[in-house]
């Protein structure tokens, strides 16, 4: 029997299609010996039978996830740094050519994108509730407001700074269950000629690659062109452009503008047609996805059990938020993955959420190299495998589990 909940966009019925069970907060890394009061919730995902928006069945209170100790730092990947610099350069060349343009970024994190605009002298504001990363942004000379973006924040910004030519959010809008308040805020803040641009993991890519580990507490929504098109229309906005992005395992950048203000590009109609042809909102697709997820779990658990029996040493690479879903859903602990190495100082010396696998600095990877490395940061595979080429040269092997379990 599957559960149902109320859609956070249209109030329709959300039908559950996968239950990952009891899961911890994906970005809460407890100190050794400090695991008694870990927070757990039921991680399950469903699709609205009204507007097709894919969403979590249960919401985690936002202050539990986004606070002064939120450990994710956007500049941690050189590929992502380049990605965001290119975003800023594109805005400078397109949307920000008028007199005194104004840009607001939701979830600016450590300021990786806004830094370029600040240096170009563009009037800007980052809205970032996580105090630690907000401070890092401020340290780079970026104007930051340490708050959650919602309707009240937006009206205050509009009153103080005027309307925005660009409102931008990367890997942030999908984190916000109270999306209605965000859209009302965008309505109050966006200039009539402005654009609301956001990029997030694309549900069609998640299904195609069975990248089930994109499902965790912070990722509340999983967008498609169809669901975003319908959502935009509820708030007097129109989807005028979509662009597929290779980052984070497949994303889409959606551009919304006040309805009728811009001519939608052909890419919108094309992606909507592609989604229809792929049956992305069909029950059969969701069942197939659920079967594939179970298959990956079985294969990964079997592989790790065999390696353990053979006495091989396995470590993890990248203490990603995604890896919380994998380790907890598959029951992977320190007995099969000795430790996980990660470049983020705030994660080092801590334990992985729920599984309590220790997190160590990347220097420990080669000290000595393990037989196998389970690549939790598979979305950064190219960057990491290039950097760690000596591991392969020394006979080490990578274990990947998306789109299927394989050793390379």
47: β partners: 15, 54
Per CB under 6 A, 380 contacts ligand TMP: yes
Contact 130, 148 (CB under 8 A): no
Choosing among ligand TMP, ligand SAM, Zn ion, none, which partner's interface includes residue 328 (Cβ < 5 to 8 Å by kind)? Answer: none
- Name the residue with tokens 């993890």: 316
Per CB under 6 A, 319 contacts ligand TMP: yes
- Name the residue with tokens 């209605």: 180
Q: Which of 44, 103, 268, 321 binds ligand TMP (CB under 6 A)?
A: 321
Q: Name the DSSP letter for residue 348.
A: T
Q: Which of 342, 352, 358, 402 binds ligand TMP (CB under 6 A)?
A: 342
Q: Which of 91, 114, 128, 374 binds ligand SAM (CB under 6 A)?
A: 128
Cβ closer to Zn ion: 54 or 293? 54
Per CB under 5 A, 228 contacts Zn ion: no
From residue 373, alpha-carbon distances to 88, 301, 307, 390 in Å are: 35, 15, 12, 13
Sign of CA dihedral 261, 266, 269, 272: negative
Choosing among ligand TMP, ligand SAM, Zn ion, none, which partner's interface includes residue 59 (Cβ < 5 to 8 Å by kind)? Answer: none
Nearest-CB residue for ligand TMP: 318
Per CB under 6 A, 379 contacts ligand TMP: yes
DSSP element (H, E) containing 287: helix 283-309
Per CB under 6 A, which region of 45-53, 210-218, 226-234, 376-384 contacts ligand TMP? 376-384
Report the interhelical angle of 151-161 vs 179-189 (nearest 10°): 10
Q: Is 124 helix (H, G, I), strand (E, B) or coil?
A: strand
Cα-Cα end-to-end distance for the chain: 39
Distance CA 255, CA 239 (A): 6
Per CB under 6 A, 145 contacts ligand SAM: no
Per CB under 6 A, which region of 184-192, 258-266, 383-391, 395-403 contacts ligand TMP? 383-391
Per CB under 5 A, 51 contacts Zn ion: yes
Q: Which of 48, 106, 157, 215 binds Zn ion (CB under 5 A)?
A: 48
Judge if the upstream peptide bond of residue 368 is cis by omega within 30 degrees of 0: yes
Choosing among Zn ion, ligand TMP, ligand SAM, none, which partner's interface includes residue 128 (Cβ < 5 to 8 Å by kind)? Answer: ligand SAM
Phi, psi (deg, nearest 5) at residue 404:
-150, 165
DSSP element (H, E) containing 118: helix 114-119
From residue 85, alpha-carbon distances to 79, 114, 173, 174, 201 in Å are: 10, 9, 20, 21, 19
Per CB under 6 A, 130 contacts ligand SAM: yes
Q: Which two tokens stand for residue 90?
A: 């594109």
Q: Which of 15, 19, 41, 50 binds Zn ion (CB under 5 A)?
A: 50
Per CB under 6 A, which region of 46-54, 197-205, 294-302, 340-348 contacts ligand TMP? 340-348
Cβ closer to ligand TMP: 82 or 406? 82
**In the complex, minimum distance from the CB of residue 171 to ligand TMP, in angstroms, rounded to a whole number:** 8
Report the interhelical angle of 225-234 vs 266-278 (nearest 10°): 120
Per CB under 6 A, 343 contacts ligand TMP: yes
Q: Which of 66, 216, 376, 398 binds ligand SAM (CB under 6 A)?
A: 66
Sign of CA dihedral 313, 317, 321, 322: negative
Cβ closer to ligand SAM: 65 or 240? 65
Nearest-CB residue for ligand SAM: 107
Which residues in this chain contact ligand TMP in the complex, by CB under 6 A? Answer: 76-77, 318-321, 342-344, 347, 362, 377, 379-380, 383-384, 387
Chain residues binding Zn ion by CB under 5 A are 7, 9-10, 12, 48, 50-51, 53
């Amino acid at each position: 029997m599957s559960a149902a909940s109320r859609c956070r966009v249209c109030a329709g019925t959300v039908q559950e299609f996968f239950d990952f069970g009891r899961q911890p907060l994906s970005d809460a890394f407890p100190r050794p010996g400090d695991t008694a009061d870990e927070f757990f919730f039921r991680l399950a995902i469903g699709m609205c039978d009204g507007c097709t928006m894919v969403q979590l069945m249960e919401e985690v209170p936002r202050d539990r996830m986004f606070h002064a100790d939120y450990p994710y730092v956007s500049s941690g990947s050189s590929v992502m740094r380049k990605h965001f610099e290119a975003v800023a350069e594109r805005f400078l060349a397109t949307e920000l050519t008028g007199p005194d343009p104004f840009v607001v970024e939701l979830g600016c994190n450590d300021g990786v994108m806004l830094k370029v605009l600040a240096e170009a002298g563009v009037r800007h504001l980052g809205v970032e509730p996580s105090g630690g990363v907000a401070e890092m942004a401020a340290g780079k000379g970026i104007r930051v407001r340490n708050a959650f973006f919602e309707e009240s924040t937006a009206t205050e910004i509009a009153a103080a700074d005027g309307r925005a030519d660009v409102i931008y959010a990367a890997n942030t809008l999908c984190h916000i269950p109270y999306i209605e308040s965000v859209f009302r805020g965008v309505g109050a803040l966006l200039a009539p000629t402005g654009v609301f641009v956001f990029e997030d993991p694309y549900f069609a890519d998640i299904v195609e690659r069975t990248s089930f580990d994109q499902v965790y507490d912070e990722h509340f929504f999983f967008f498609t062109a169809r669901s975003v098109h319908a959502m935009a229309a509820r708030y007097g906005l129109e989807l005028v452009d979509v662009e597929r992005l290779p980052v984070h395992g497949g994303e889409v950048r959606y551009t919304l503008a006040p309805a009728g203000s811009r001519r939608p590009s052909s890419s919108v109609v094309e992606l909507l047609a592609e989604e229809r042809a792929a049956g992305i909102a069909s029950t059969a697709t969701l069942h197939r996805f659920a079967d594939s997820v179970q298959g990956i779990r079985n294969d990964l658990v079997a592989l790790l059990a065999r390696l353990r029996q053979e006495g091989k040493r396995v470590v993890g690479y990248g203490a990603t938020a995604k890896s919380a879903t994998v380790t907890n859903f598959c029951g992977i602990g320190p007995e099969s993955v000795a430790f996980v190495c990660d470049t983020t100082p705030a994660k080092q010396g801590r334990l992985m959420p729920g599984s309590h696998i220790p997190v160590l600095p990347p220097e420990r990877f080669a000290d000595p190299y393990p037989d196998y490395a389970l690549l939790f940061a598979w979305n950064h595979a190219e960057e990491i495998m290039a950097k760690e080429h000596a591991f392969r040269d020394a006979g080490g092997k990578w274990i990947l589990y998306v789109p299927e379990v394989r050793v390379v």
